[in-house]
Structure 1
Amino acid sequence: MRKIYLFNAAFLFLWSANPVFSQTSQLQIARNSVGKLQIAIGNKEDAKKQLSILGEGIKAAESAQNDKKTKKWPETWAIKSYLSSYVAIIDTDVPNADRYYNLAIEAIDSAKRLDKFQANSQLISASVYNVNIKKQEKGNVAYANNDFLTAYELLKEVSDFFPKDTTLAINTGLAAQNIQSFDNALAYFKRAKDNGIKNPVVFQKLTGIYISKFEHELAVKTLEDGIKANPYHVFLTNDYINLLLDTEKYNEAIKVIESTLKVETNNKLLYFLYGYLYQNNGNNSTAELAYKKALKIDENYFDALYQLGLAYVNSANEALKSKKTEGAPTFSSYINRAEVALLQAHEINQNDKSTVQLLIDIYTRKNRLDKVQELKSKLEEF
């Protein structure tokens, strides 16, 4: 919880020493309660002692508000708002705390309306501060109870009061997102980002909203900012690469993967994606190397085995078309490698039709009709 607003003690003692009002007046008693409260806080008195002081002060303030003369004074309402707002924060009796929360809000409105010369601005500011602390607490409770609309309405007021608080901005954005108010969610997540938040989730949330609005360039820029704040963060990097792939920025994706693999040498997915991109560009030899590195990390990585087998098939086809170079792998050599990789893939996932179809093509070329028939029968079972 935030630190509760405290006054300068000297300022309060000047108040209590003011000779204009009688020491026996209800307003003076209320003034003195504010001073006593500050002393109790300074001495770290327990909540029971503080509530006793507050009770005395509020009772006096309410008597003053019922007096024909002092009810028109802004000071009466300013004191009541401050004392009530403090009760709302420290009282563990929830219904009572809520009652004083509402009384504080009403008193603040009256104090602001009457205080034309801002003579009570410190008290009013302290009351507003405390009310916002209570609103934050109530907003958090509402969020925990899945009452996201109430949570959003409360937390947005608090976030607007504390605009530099990044945690508040995030929580407000989450509440807005839960009620599908995506423009408001965007505004509060962006507030957190603009105030220096480094939490990767914020960048992911912002990116998701930008993508839903088809603002892909902003989504890319947001992930780039997120990675700058969190270098080589796994999830941000994966999201960034996937977004580059989705927007067909393949060369940029390759560069990001190359850079990341210098640090994350044990990331099988990155090796797979690296191979897949090169394979799509017709560079089967680089793809093969990448898939093999992925398989060193996980020998049962189905996607890498399947794509490695496909890369060997493509290389076999290239070998048929090109003139044979001394020492270069032959068509048969590539086909044999493809068979081994695809059989392993088939063993891991026997229901994958694409793997079975590639194996049928290989055995057809090898004139292994028994195998062809066996695999075709399997296809019919799918």
Structure 2
Amino acid sequence: MSKISFIGTIFLVVTTWNLAFSQKSQLLIARNSVGKLQMAINNKQDANAQLGIIGEGIKASEAAQNDKKTKKWPETWAIKAYLSSYVAITDPNEGNSDKYYGLAIEAIDSAKRLDKFQTNTHLIEASIYNINIKKQEKANAAFAKNDFTTAFSLLKEVSDFFPKDTTLAVNTALAAQNIRGFDNALEYFKRAKENGARNPAIFQNLANIYTSKFETDQAIKTLEDGIRVNAGDVNLTNNYINLLLDNEKYVEAIKVIENTLKTDTANKLLYFLYGYLYQNNSGLGTAELAYNKALVIDENYFDALYQLGVAYIQSANEALKSTSADKNQKFTSFINRAEVALLQAHEINQNDKPTVQLLIEIYTRKNKLDKVQELKSKLEEF
């Protein structure tokens, strides 16, 4: 955002103003200062030159506000508001800038109250614009100091003044989150989204807030919207899958994973999740294939090794239930595969109790009692 300059030749030509006022009147000097300031801005004069012109105008406007007659005129306060607001966003001296920020706010209130016929609308609007620029600066400073209460209070006002500014909306939402104002955070993240913001973090934050409010369908839709405009974003996709899993929408989760794996073929977590979903829906063959694909990507992937071992044990148990002539052969084959997978898992994480317990079960079936005793001794050490 840039500083607003008050454009209007009406301030450049002063001889056409009400001739009842003396050429030397303080209000006329203040009017001229607005015109001179506009010329200085157009001519790109430096800040010191601009502040010199403003100083002359403010001095005149203050004299006018102390006059019994002109202090009742909205123009007196509108000019003071505009010139003071410009000091607030121009003066590098923080103390002086803050002083005129306060004076501008007071003058704006007086100008709005007195301007019943709205003859000074442009000046007042320009002043309010400048004040919001200053508020944003103060908000950013507060945010940097982790004063999120002050930051939110100021950013809310600025964002409401510039509702189409998505960066402002996001910053307002983040400040609200930091003070646990989740309803406010929701409002401003939604504002950013509705005005075209595409940052994946916006959709993630919105979904998290909806989830905390138990609005699951809205959370799911939000992540779907985010994926639609951020195709291939890993974090959004993972959040979406996890949300589907948390809400037992397994069929939908499988479809999302299948589609994602068409392009993201190196994602071991997705292969693991795919296998886990099929394992829990009696698709042991597909689960074993998925775990093995995850292990091709990372041969030391503990979770995949452990679940692969579990899947082989389940397949072994299923083989025993069959009536085929080779059921014992199949059982032995699956148990041997389970042993290999679980031994690898145990080597990676020797303190994992479930892995040790499964190995004890396998060695008990194989009647390897020395191995059983060794592993039971390990369990006692945990």
1:377 alignment partner in structure 2: 377
Instruction: Using the TM superposition, give the Cα deviation of residue 10 of structure 1 relative to its aligned residue in structure 2, in angstroms.
Output: 2.6
**TM-score, length of structure 2 as denominator length:** 0.97
After superposing the two structures, state which structure 1 stretch, 362-371 or 320-329, moved more: 320-329
1:23 alignment partner in structure 2: 23
Instruction: Using the TM superposition, give the Cα deviation of residue 232 of structure 1 relative to its aligned residue in structure 2, in angstroms.
Output: 2.0
User: Is the contact made by 1:16 and 1:32 (CA closer than 8 Å) also made in structure 2?
Assistant: no
Change (3 A) 1:116 1:302: same
Q: CA RMSD in A?
A: 1.6
Identity %: 73
Residue 151 (structure 1) aligned with residue 148 (structure 2): no
Instruction: Using the TM superposition, give the Cα deviation of residue 13 of structure 1 relative to its aligned residue in structure 2, in angstroms.
Output: 2.2
Instruction: Using the TM superposition, give the Cα deviation of residue 17 of structure 1 relative to its aligned residue in structure 2, in angstroms.
Output: 4.4
Change (3 A) 1:43 1:372: same
Letter in 1 for 2:256: V
1:363 alignment partner in structure 2: 363
Instruction: Using the TM superposition, give the Cα deviation of residue 8 of structure 1 relative to its aligned residue in structure 2, in angstroms.
Output: 2.5
Instruction: Using the TM superposition, give the Cα deviation of residue 14 of structure 1 relative to its aligned residue in structure 2, in angstroms.
Output: 4.1
Residue 322 (structure 1) aligned with residue 329 (structure 2): no
2:89 alignment partner in structure 1: 89
1:218 alignment partner in structure 2: 218
Instruction: Using the TM superposition, give the Cα deviation of residue 18 of structure 1 relative to its aligned residue in structure 2, in angstroms.
Output: 2.6
- Partner of 1:330, secondary structure, is helix
Letter in 1 for 2:174: L
After superposing the two structures, state which structure 1 stretch, 268-277 or 195-204, moved more: 195-204
1:131 alignment partner in structure 2: 131
2:4 alignment partner in structure 1: 5
Separation of aligned partners in 1, 2:233 and 2:100:
46
Letter in 1 for 2:236: L
Matches within 5 A, 1:19-168: 20=19, 21-168=21-168
Letter in 2 for 1:61: S
- Partner of 2:12, secondary structure, is helix
After superposing the two structures, state which structure 1 stretch, 19-28 or 64-73, moved more: 19-28
1:283 alignment partner in structure 2: 283
Change (3 A) 1:329 1:19: farther
Separation of aligned partners in 1, 2:6 and 2:98:
24
Instruction: Using the TM superposition, give the Cα deviation of residue 322 of structure 1 relative to its aligned residue in structure 2, in angstroms.
Output: 1.4
After superposing the two structures, state which structure 1 stretch, 348-357 or 329-338, moved more: 329-338
Instruction: Using the TM superposition, give the Cα deviation of residue 19 of structure 1 relative to its aligned residue in structure 2, in angstroms.
Output: 5.3
Cα-to-partner distance string for 1:268-292 (whole Å, 9 max, x where unaligned): 1001000000000011110011111
Matches within 5 A, 1:157-236: 157-236=157-236
Letter in 2 for 1:275: G
2:301 alignment partner in structure 1: 301
User: Is the contact made by 1:16 and 1:28 (CA closer than 8 Å) also made in structure 2?
Assistant: no
Change (3 A) 1:328 1:271: farther
1:354 alignment partner in structure 2: 354
Q: Which stretches of structure 1, 4 residues or more, deviate above 6 A after TM superposition? A: 325-329
Separation of aligned partners in 2, 1:263 and 1:103:
60
Separation of aligned partners in 2, 1:377 and 1:206:
50
Separation of aligned partners in 2, 1:179 and 1:53:
42
After superposing the two structures, state which structure 1 stretch, 141-150 or 277-286, moved more: 141-150
Separation of aligned partners in 1, 2:287 and 2:221:
29
Instruction: Using the TM superposition, give the Cα deviation of residue 23 of structure 1 relative to its aligned residue in structure 2, in angstroms.
Output: 2.4
Letter in 1 for 2:296: K
Separation of aligned partners in 2, 1:12 and 1:365:
98
Instruction: Using the TM superposition, give the Cα deviation of residue 134 of structure 1 relative to its aligned residue in structure 2, in angstroms.
Output: 0.7
User: Is the contact made by 1:269 and 1:294 (CA closer than 8 Å) also made in structure 2?
Assistant: yes
Cα-to-partner distance string for 1:315-352 (whole Å, 9 max, x where unaligned): 11111111337799711111111111110000000000
Change (3 A) 1:79 1:325: farther
Separation of aligned partners in 2, 1:198 and 1:162:
18
Separation of aligned partners in 1, 2:43 and 2:24:
26
User: Is the contact made by 1:85 and 1:104 (CA closer than 8 Å) also made in structure 2?
Assistant: yes
Separation of aligned partners in 2, 1:19 and 1:115:
18
Separation of aligned partners in 2, 1:81 and 1:333:
86
Letter in 2 for 1:331: F
Matches within 5 A, 1:236-315: 236-315=236-315
Q: Which runs of 5 or more residues in structure 1 are unaligned?
A: none
Query: How many corresponding residue pairs?
Result: 381
User: Is the contact made by 2:159 and 2:165 (CA closer than 8 Å) also made in structure 1?
Assistant: yes
Separation of aligned partners in 1, 2:328 and 2:34:
91
Letter in 1 for 2:4: Y
Change (3 A) 1:191 1:15: farther
Cα-to-partner distance string for 1:78-120 (whole Å, 9 max, x where unaligned): 0000000000001111111110000000000110111111000
Separation of aligned partners in 2, 1:271 and 1:156:
44
User: Is the contact made by 2:319 and 2:327 (CA closer than 8 Å) also made in structure 1?
Assistant: no
Q: Which runs of 5 or more residues in structure 2 are unaligned?
A: none
User: Is the contact made by 1:320 and 1:331 (CA closer than 8 Å) also made in structure 2?
Assistant: yes
Separation of aligned partners in 2, 1:328 and 1:320:
7
Separation of aligned partners in 1, 2:183 and 2:284:
45
Letter in 2 for 1:341: A
